Structures are given as structure tokens and as C-alpha cells.
Structure 1
Amino acid sequence: MPVIIRDPVHGAICLDELEKEIVLSRPLQRLKGIRQLGLVDSVYPGAAHSRLEHSLGCMHMAGRMAEHLGLPAEDVKKVRLAGLLHDLGHSALSHAVEGVLSRNPDLQPVIEGRSVFRHEQFTRSIIMEHPFPEEALEIAERLYGEPGQLFFEVAEIASGLRPPLGQIIMGDIDADRIDFLLRDSHHAGVSLGLVDTDQILQALTVKEGRIVLAGQGDYSAEMSQTAAESMLIARAHHYNALVYHPRVQSLRAMLLSALERALQGLPVNEARSSIILFFREYTDPDLLDFIRKNGDGACRSFLDSIIFGRALPLAARFDHRSLPPDIRMALSTISRHGRMKKLFEDSLGRKYGALVDVTAGSGVPRTMRTEARAFLYDDSPLAAGLVRSLTRQIAISFFSDGRPEISLLEIREQAERLLTFIRSESSLPIDGLLLLFFTLHRMLSESFGEKVLVPRIRNITWLYRTVARIRELGLSELSNLFDYSFQGHYGFPYSERLFEDIQILVASGMIYQDLRHYEREGQWLLRYEYMLTAEGIKYADSVSNSYKRESEALARHLRQEKHSIPYDVVSLNLRSYSGKRD
């Protein structure tokens, strides 16, 4: 018999017999003891809802999306199961645990021969093990056949595979995001923008086996775009209001510090075994108890402060408005490499007697397409602006009871020393992308007295094709510098990571992104063109010292391709372009 659950966001949620047995299982019930928003309830007391509540909401929303898209009944049921189980591998106080693992690769557990540090990897593993009661497995076998095959498919869907099913759980507009934006806003008591589920559902359709925004140059296309934009606005507000609130950020940094110290006091194998339990067995109270038992006096002092919401005061904060472009670029690079981030934060923390937290925006939409075969951010200037807004959320914060005098010069010097060291060990793909723009600039720019002609690359797809071509050629000097993976189902080689790196270069002030209209088949469309900034030239010039062989190889390759480079030139005042003032 179906069971009906009353949900504060969606109202009545109906569970079938298999879903009911899985909800009652130990792995799902563990999620009752894990708060969806971690420590946010210290600032927003109502935001104490659990991951189980969110999982039920995600299941419900996933089913609605699948039914609207006209998917077969069996696929609807599998998508609902994937929504229900998509957070199964979340650790207690998960973002602190994942932060510790990202910063300390030696502590990362090994699953199927690979080091793991993200909850999605644990989730996939647990679903495939299907550790559910016998009653649930018997129902699964009766309805679907071999349970192992069913849960293998569900694990893939929950991981974002098997489109269009996986896109419903893990896409730019998915059931997970829709539910947590609605639920977090409801419980926190904060309006995070308009998320109209009916409008969002009407905006989606399936074309060529993938979910896209419905409509082609008509009113329905406009409404679909509006629905997608509303999701992006809500997402940006979510980060600003909840995730980056200074007190929440301080408590999160305190928890990370206490947990890291507690784990480092254990033998490595014992620490790894404990971490596996964090993802499979522990609730939030269990993790806090672990810190109390295994941490030193400083850990326990932090723990007491966390429990009672006594955050360290924000002593100083620098963000995109106060950080020069070169420091923004350096911090953005450091923030995405856990070990580098730990070295950087710990070094500055010791110098200033503070907890240091470098943060960078995430959740940038990368793959949402329209029915007219364009990316959302190509069709919508608002979406493109919101992408930039999310990407430029780079900041460095200092939390301390004292009042340290923070020097931007010291931050710059520490970052430069660390990046020089890292580059001596391995190549950074975003450096390669910047060097590509730098090489194009040196090859195509010209100066005439007080004027300079600056090249502006006309087509982002040319950048994708060029980097993919360099990888295909297997040029030995460049094999590690452009370590991007590409997919080809859009009709051209596309890389999500390369797109995100371009947005980081724009947000950091390294390249300038300009909007241009062009006509194709009677339609006026938008495209984005890219030009190296004066700050980008200075930063790339310093970076090139670490990549002399690579820079020479890149220049040789681009000279051979010069005739096919799509670019215009912009005439600028040389003094203004170089950043000089009268």
C-alpha cells in the first residue's frame, strides 16, 4: 500500500512499497541526523532540516520532472529512486569533511582502487552495494528482476549518467537544486529569488536524448529562458545569504580546523578507517563526539564554541572588489587545489594568528542547452552575467579574536611563492589557457605610436577546437599543459572545465569578455568575444617564466594555424590599455 508523507515544501509525497522500505532502512534513516545546511542554523535557527527531508523532496521533484518529460513509467520510478538515494553517501557535517580530505590527500580513503574525497563517490558505491533490508530487495526483485542490476542503473542515474535520466538528478536545472533552493529558503526564512516549479517544468523538453530548454525563437523560448534565469538568480542569492554569511563561514573554518587536528593525531590507517565511517555510519552528533574524543584541548575549545554558536569574529575580508586582478587570479587557482589551499591558509594563519579561509564560487551552469542548439549563457546576457557573478565570488577571510593588520602585499607574495613551487612540480591547465591568449596577443597585436591594435578572438568554439586539436596532436611539450577532457555530442568538442576556466579568467580580470550580435538563418544571435587585458598581459608574462618550453611550442603551433584564427582587432590608446594614468 502506498504511504503518504506530508512535506512542508511539496505537500503530499506518496511513497510506493519499495520506496517505503528503503526510507525505513538504516542508510536512509542516518540522513535524519545530518543537517542539510550544516552549521547554518547557528545564524538561521529554522534551517535545521535534515538530508532525509531533502532526499524525499528530491525524489518527489525528480518524479514530477520525469512525468512531465513523458518518460516511460519504469524510468520515472528509477529516477525517483535515484533522487531518494542521491545523498546516501553524504558525510556528517559533510562540507567540513570533504574540505579536510581535499586538503590532505594522504587521508583520502580508497574505493575500487581510487582515492575518493567527495560524497558523490561514496553515494555511487553505497547504492551499488544496496545495503537495504531483505523486504526491500524482495520487492525490487519482484518488480524489476535482479536487484543488483536495478541499483547499478540507479547509481548511474544518481551520478548524472544515462541522459536524460541523469540530468534530472545532476544537471544545470535538476531536482536536487530545485528542492534545496525551495527548502533552504523555506526553513531559513530568507527569500532566495523566485523558483516557480510549474514554470520550470514547462521550460524543459527532451531533444535528441537530452534535456534542453523548450522553444525555438518564440514566446515559449522566452519563458523557458526566464525560468532558467530565475534558477540562476536563486542560486546566486543562496550562496550570498547562507553559504557565505561571515558567522557561518567562521564556524565552518573552526570545525574544519578542529576535525583536521583530531584526524592528524591518529595513525593514517586509523584516520582513513574513521573517515569511511563519517560517510557511511556517522550522524552530525557522532562526528562532534569523534572530535571531542580524539582532539586536543584547542579542538575541544573550538568544539564548545561551535556547539553554542560562538564564532570567531571576522577580522578582515578581501573580495573581488578589493583584490587586485593578479591576486584574484592566484587565489582562484589556489582555491581549486586542496593541498595548495591548506599550505596557503596555514602559512597566513600562523603569521596573523587567525583562521584563514579562501573561498571561490561554484555551481556555474555549464551544459544547459536550448532547443535551438545554443547554450543558455549564449542566448541570455542575464545568464552570462550570473555566471560571471558566481565565478567572481572569490574572497579571503581572516577570523580572529584579535585585530591583525593584514597586508595585501604579504598575501600576494605568499601566493606567488606557492604557485611557483606548484608549477615546478606540475602544469596547471588554467595557466595553459592564459598562455594561449598571451601567445595570440603577442602574435597578432600591433602598436602604432600612441595606438595599439589588440586581437579579439571571435568564437569560443574556436578555443575549444584549438585546445582539443593540441591534445589530439599529442605535442609532447604541451601534453600536460592542456589537461582537459572533451565531449562531442554538441557537434563540436566541448569541455565543461575549459568553459569554467575561461569564466575564471574573465572574473579575475585576465581577459575581457565582450558581447556581439550576429545573424544566422534569419535569426540575430549573441556570441562572446575575448581579449587579453593589460593585467592579463602582466600576469601571463610572469607565468610564462615557468613554462618556457611550453610557450615556445604553443607559439610554433599557433603560427602554423594563423590563417584560421577568427579574430578582429580593437584600436586602443596604448597608455590607457597598459593601465597608466595621466
Structure 2
Amino acid sequence: MPVPGFKVIHDSVHGSVKVDGLFLDLLERPEMQRLHGVHQLGLAHLVFPGANHTRLEHSLGTYHLARTMSGALELDDQDRSTVLAAALLHDLGHSPYSHTLEEVIHNRTGKDHTGITRDIIMGSLPIMSEASAEVLGRFNPIAEVLEGEGISPQDVTGLISASHLAKDSRQRTLDVDAGQAHFGQKNYLKQIISGPLDVDQMDYLQRDAYYTGVAHGTIDIDRLMQTVAVFHGDLVISKGGMVAVEGLMVARSLMYTSVYFHKTARIAEMMLCKAVEMAPPSVLDDIHMATDCELDSKLTEAGGDAARLMTLLRFRKLYKKAVMLPVSGLDEHQIEHLIELSDYNRRKAAEREIADRAGLKESEVLVDIPDRALLLGEPRIGKTDVAILDGDRVRPLSRYSPLAKAIQSRGVHDWAVMVSTPAKNREEVEKATLKTLFA
């Protein structure tokens, strides 16, 4: 019997996921298979023991939801294929431990994971080591594979990267063609991948809630898919789906507070970042090809403070908070100073100064400003004004929903700065921090 050109994969969140044709070929490529070795939630498993799911699972789930939404919107074959490719490939550029090292890598290379994803797809970065290539053979760039199927790789990477950077991609102007004014751009394609209603967050909120065991990620996916539509080139939800949208907004807000910005998980992630900073720069060579385990080995082999920090992480001997200042307790001067510390190099300088004042090594002081992580890792968090279609008019969700307004004004974390250190140093670091940051 001939081998079927598809696979049905059982996913713990979505059930049976069918992958066929081009997308099955893409799924089996080494760039995708590397994601089996990258934790979706970085080091959150040190706080939530079940959170050992991977970027590969999330990519597959995002593809599945994109397929469902493409059907709901009745996209033509070309747009459907482009959207599905972008959904499946959107996280190829994640380094080990996902968003954890985003800021360090951005500081060293000037690129975030979406820029690296684009380079991988276009073939401007190697996809595996020479030793691996000797075993697996050579692979043409993904861009060539897409082009062979009649899909523009530029369109695919455009959906992944351009939408990631846009603050508000809804159209404000009209094109004029033969005297007829109309909205000409297909903004909805970008918004399917990254926007207030994108399939990326629909998957990760459900998946992360499932594996962490928290009860905040419940989303009425069926209702969202039943009420999603395209209006004047933008992705909208009909008014009948407003409650489902409110549920999505609540789930996102609570997941950021309880999981993504959990204080202990953040300390563990800052320890990993510090290990990378203490290691030779070469540990980040070809980081886009590495898995979590491979990075662990490099950092351990580097010796010194990097190896010490990795040992502490391996046995969950984490730093403790010495100073944590709530957002609500800051005056105008303190806020201005913390805004300055959102700059990576200034924050590193502050860590060194605190360590000097406390008589400690630089590796023993961690300063965390969570807003910086939001800028690099999740720009979409502020996009709570989902477009609601009411008859023939579109209005933002906040016009209808007091709940949406409340979520817009609610911070995703209740602390503005956290300084951590080994437990025995907390008193010295607290004094040094207050002198350094707010003297």
C-alpha cells in the first residue's frame, strides 16, 4: 500500500492534528525538529514542574489553529498556504530556553527571534553543524522549498516579522482604484499570526495553562472561530463573540501575572542570563542551532561563574530577592530612573555598582526590570482593543466592555524592579541597591 501523504499527530491540547503535503515536509526538517529541545517556558519548570513542553508542540498547535481560522475565514488556497507556513515556522529563531535569553542575544547581535527566524527561512544562516550534515545530508533553504510550492518566502517572513513589530496594523487610509475607494491591504493575514486575536497566543495561553496546571488559560476557541470575520481588510469579531474575546483578554492578563512574570521563575531566568554573560562570547556562536541541553553543556564547560550558576540551576538552588519595589509605591523620580535602567547596558552597570558596594562578585547580583522583557518578548500584550463588528460598523472592544477597559489599565506585573542575590548576601545587597538606584 502507498504511504499516505499526511500524518495525524495527537496533541495534548487540541487532540488530533492533521499535517500534510508541504507542511509535513517542513515539520520534518532539522530546523523544526531542533525545537523539540527548546522549552516553551524557559525555566518555568523549576516553579511549575509540569511545564516541560516545547516550542515544537507550540508551533504545531499554532499551525492547527491557523488551519482552523483559515477555514473559518474561507481564505483562498494561496493565502491559506502562506498563513499556515508562517504559523508553523514562526518560532524557528528561538534560542535555547525561548524568550529567556532574548535580551542578551539582542544586545549582542541586534536581532530578536523574529529576525533570526527570517534569516533561517531565507537561508542566510546555517541550520546544523558539519557533523550533523554528514549524517543527515544537505538541505536546501526553506525559501527554496516554499518557492517550489508557489509560496513567496518574503510573504511568509513578512507575516512573521512585520506584524511582530507593528503597534497597530489596522488600516487608517483608503486606496483608490478606478475611482472606487476601498481598503486594499490584507492586514488580516498578519493579524492571524500576530495581533489581538492571533492564533499564536490562542495556542500558548491554552498550552501553558495546561502544562503549568493553573486555571487561567481557558479560552472559548470554538466561539472565537465561529465569530471571526474579515471587514475592510482587518480581522474582526462579530458582536456575538464579544464574551469569548473578553475571556481571551482575561486569560492573557492572568497568565502574565501568575506564570510569565512569576518572581521565582524570573530569578531563575536572570541566573541563566548571567551565566551566559559570564561565559566567553563564543557560547552564543550559532545559538540558533542549539538546544537547551547543548547550551547547558557549553556553559558548564566554560567553568568559572558560568559553571557555578549552571550548577545552582541544575539543583534548583536559586538566588533570593533582596529588593522588590511595587509599581504603586514609586514616585516620579524613581520611575524616571527605572526607565533609564530599561537600557541593557545601564542595567548591567547598575549590577556592577551594587556588587562593588556590597563587596560581591558581579555574578552575585541580578537586576530585573520586567518592562524591558515585555518590549522584546511580547509586544502584543498591550493590544487589548479587539475590533468588534456591530452591524456595518467596527468599534474597539473597550467601547462595549468595562472589563476590557479594566484589563487595559491593569499591569501584567505588580513589581517594577527586583534585585536578587544568594540568600546570605541579601542584607548587604539591599543596602547597596537603595544607595545605587535611589540615593
What is the TM-score of this pair, normalised by structure 1?
0.61
State the 1:177 CA deviation: 0.3
State the 1:405 CA deviation: 6.1
C-alpha offsets along residues 161-208 of structure 1, whole Å, 9 cap, x if unaligned? Answer: 552111111111211101001111111111114311012223421111
SS of aligned partner of 1:374: strand
Equivalent residue, structure 2, for 1:244: 261
Greater shift after overlay, 58-67 or 352-361?
352-361
Equivalent residue, structure 1, for 2:45: 41
Answer yes or no: is the 8 Å Cα contact 1:364–1:390 preserved in 2: no
2:409 to 378, 388, 409: 388
Structure-1 separation of matches of 2:412 and 2:39: 26
Q: Percent identity?
A: 28
State the 1:378 CA deviation: 4.3
Structure-2 separation of matches of 1:404 and 1:41: 29
C-alpha offsets along residues 1-50 of structure 1, whole Å, 9 cap, x if unaligned? Answer: 22110000000110112111111111001000000001011111111011
SS of aligned partner of 2:68: helix
C-alpha offsets along residues 425-457 of structure 1, whole Å, 9 cap, x if unaligned? Answer: xxxxxxxxxxxxxxxxxxxxxxxxxxxxxxxxx
Answer yes or no: is the 8 Å Cα contact 1:195–1:230 preserved in 2: yes
Q: Against the structure 1 CA distance between its residues 282 and 136, is the aligned structure 2 distance closer, same or farther, given a 3 Å change threshold?
A: closer
Equivalent residue, structure 1, for 2:133: none
Answer yes or no: is the 8 Å Cα contact 2:9–2:17 preserved in 1: yes
Higher relative contact order (CA 8 A, sep 6+): 2
Q: Against the structure 1 CA distance between its residues 408 and 209, is the aligned structure 2 distance closer, same or farther, given a 3 Å change threshold?
A: farther
AA of the residue aligned to 1:81: A
RMSD: 2.8
Answer yes or no: is the 8 Å Cα contact 1:157–1:169 preserved in 2: yes
Equivalent residue, structure 2, for 1:208: 232
State the 1:154 CA deviation: 1.3
Q: Map 1:68-467 onto structure 2 (within 5 A).
A: 68-102=72-106, 105=107, 107-108=108-109, 115-116=110-111, 118-129=112-123, 133=139, 140=146, 143-144=149-150, 150-161=152-163, 163-215=187-239, 220=240, 223-224=241-242, 226-263=243-280, 266=281, 271=282, 275-279=284-288, 281-294=289-302, 296-331=303-338, 333-334=339-340, 336-352=342-358, 353=360, 354-360=365-371, 362=374, 363-365=381-383, 368-371=386-389, 372-390=393-411, 393-400=414-421, 401-402=423-424, 403-404=426-427, 411=434, 414-415=436-437
Q: Against the structure 1 CA distance between its residues 408 and 176, is the aligned structure 2 distance closer, same or farther, given a 3 Å change threshold?
A: farther
Q: Against the structure 1 CA distance between its residues 167 and 200, is the aligned structure 2 distance closer, same or farther, given a 3 Å change threshold?
A: same
Q: Against the structure 1 CA distance between its residues 49 and 59, is the aligned structure 2 distance closer, same or farther, given a 3 Å change threshold?
A: same
Structure-2 separation of matches of 1:23 and 1:290: 27
State the 1:314 CA deviation: 2.5
Answer yes or no: is the 8 Å Cα contact 1:160–1:170 preserved in 2: no
State the 1:133 CA deviation: 4.0
Structure-2 separation of matches of 1:350 and 1:24: 50
State the 1:236 CA deviation: 1.7
2:68 aligned with 1:64: yes
2:18 to 14, 18, 24: 14
Answer yes or no: is the 8 Å Cα contact 1:193–1:234 preserved in 2: yes
Query: Larger C-alpha radius of gyration, 1 or 2?
Result: 1
AA of the residue aligned to 1:124: R
State the 1:100 CA deviation: 1.5
State the 1:345 CA deviation: 3.7
Equivalent residue, structure 1, for 2:169: none
Q: Against the structure 1 CA distance between its residues 391 and 44, is the aligned structure 2 distance closer, same or farther, given a 3 Å change threshold?
A: closer
What residue ranges of structure 2 are gaps of 5+ in the alignment? Answer: 128-137, 164-185, 375-380
Answer yes or no: is the 8 Å Cα contact 1:92–1:278 preserved in 2: yes
Q: Against the structure 1 CA distance between its residues 86 and 236, is the aligned structure 2 distance closer, same or farther, given a 3 Å change threshold?
A: same
SS of aligned partner of 2:324: strand
State the 1:120 CA deviation: 0.8
State the 1:301 CA deviation: 1.2
SS of aligned partner of 1:5: strand
C-alpha offsets along residues 361-384 of structure 1, whole Å, 9 cap, x if unaligned? Answer: 832116632333333334433222
Answer yes or no: is the 8 Å Cα contact 1:160–1:169 preserved in 2: no
Answer yes or no: is the 8 Å Cα contact 1:58–1:175 preserved in 2: yes
Structure-2 separation of matches of 1:59 and 1:141: 19
What is the TM-score of this pair, normalised by structure 2?
0.79
What residue ranges of structure 1 are gaps of 5+ in the alignment? Answer: 109-114, 418-582
SS of aligned partner of 2:369: strand
Q: Against the structure 1 CA distance between its residues 135 and 394, is the aligned structure 2 distance closer, same or farther, given a 3 Å change threshold?
A: closer
State the 1:126 CA deviation: 1.4
Answer yes or no: is the 8 Å Cα contact 2:347–2:367 preserved in 1: no
Structure-1 separation of matches of 2:143 and 2:120: 15
AA of the residue aligned to 1:275: L
Greater shift after overlay, 232-241 or 27-36?
232-241
